[in-house]
Amino acid sequence: MKEIIDGFLKFQRNVFPERAELFKHLATRQNPRALFISCSDSRLVPELVTQREPGDLFVIRNAGNIVPSYGPEPGGVTASVEYAVAVLRVTDIVICGHSDCGAMTAIAGCHCMNTLPAVDHWLRYADSARVVNESRTHGSLQEKTAAMVRENVIAQLANIQTHPSVRLALEEGRIALHGWVYDIESGNIAAWDGANRRFVSLAENPDTCAVSQRPQSAA
């Protein structure tokens, strides 16, 4: 804990004064450009990976970067998505998985989670990805886990489109969805190309998009 407090003191002493005007501007308003949904894993820091300043990203983090389908009992993720899209009116949503994900490793390896009932229940929201992944042949558990990470990103992109606020924004042509997988060791990101249904290098294909819908022209 001492290191964390020392870090705050360093921030207060050195970092905050250099960005005083930014924080003054942010004190009473926020206008993030994107909603970034990522895993809670400590090795993935959205603002670091994307080099964004405070106020640029509206972030949701949870085990497995999961977005439950919209339902009659909305939870925190649903409420946060709705607020980001309907109130803050973000123009982009990124769902970002990552290599060596503990949640996806547990699913791919069929690990018993009897002692973690809350985790077990939560990961059921990745069932569609699990079923697809199980239907395919994998050379090793490592390959199976990597494939599960990617399938889960695709599944969560489908889930988020069941949310009314997201569906409306897509119909109005004011939002785009992105599916990313961040590799911790290399720092690379693979992005889901929705048009061609494959993952491609984001660095080589910076305009890649998972879902982008423009409003239909009037007849």
Q: Of 6, 25, 29, 41, which residue is the catalytic one?
A: 41
Is 101 an annotated catalytic residue?
Answer: yes
Q: Of 6, 52, 101, 214, which residue is the catalytic one?
A: 101
Q: Of 43, 121, 124, 214, which residue is the catalytic one?
A: 43
Residue 39 marked as a ligand binder = yes
Is 127 an annotated catalytic residue?
Answer: no
Residue 110 marked as a ligand binder = no
- Burial per residue of 12-50, b for 16 or more beta-carbon CB atoms within 10 angstroms, e otherwise: eeeeeeeeeeeeeeeeeeeebebbbbbbebeebebeebe
Q: Of 98, 150, 163, 178, which residue is the catalytic one?
A: 98
Is 178 an annotated catalytic residue?
Answer: no
Is 98 an annotated catalytic residue?
Answer: yes
Could you write out the three-class secondary structure of 159-216?
HHCCCHHHHHHHHCCCCEEEEEEECCCCCCEEEEECCCCEEEECCCCCCCCCEECCCC
Q: Of 39, 130, 163, 178, which residue is the catalytic one?
A: 39
Catalytically active residues are: 39, 41, 43, 98, 101
Annotated binding site: 39, 41, 98, 101
Annotated binding site for Zn(2+): 39, 41, 98, 101
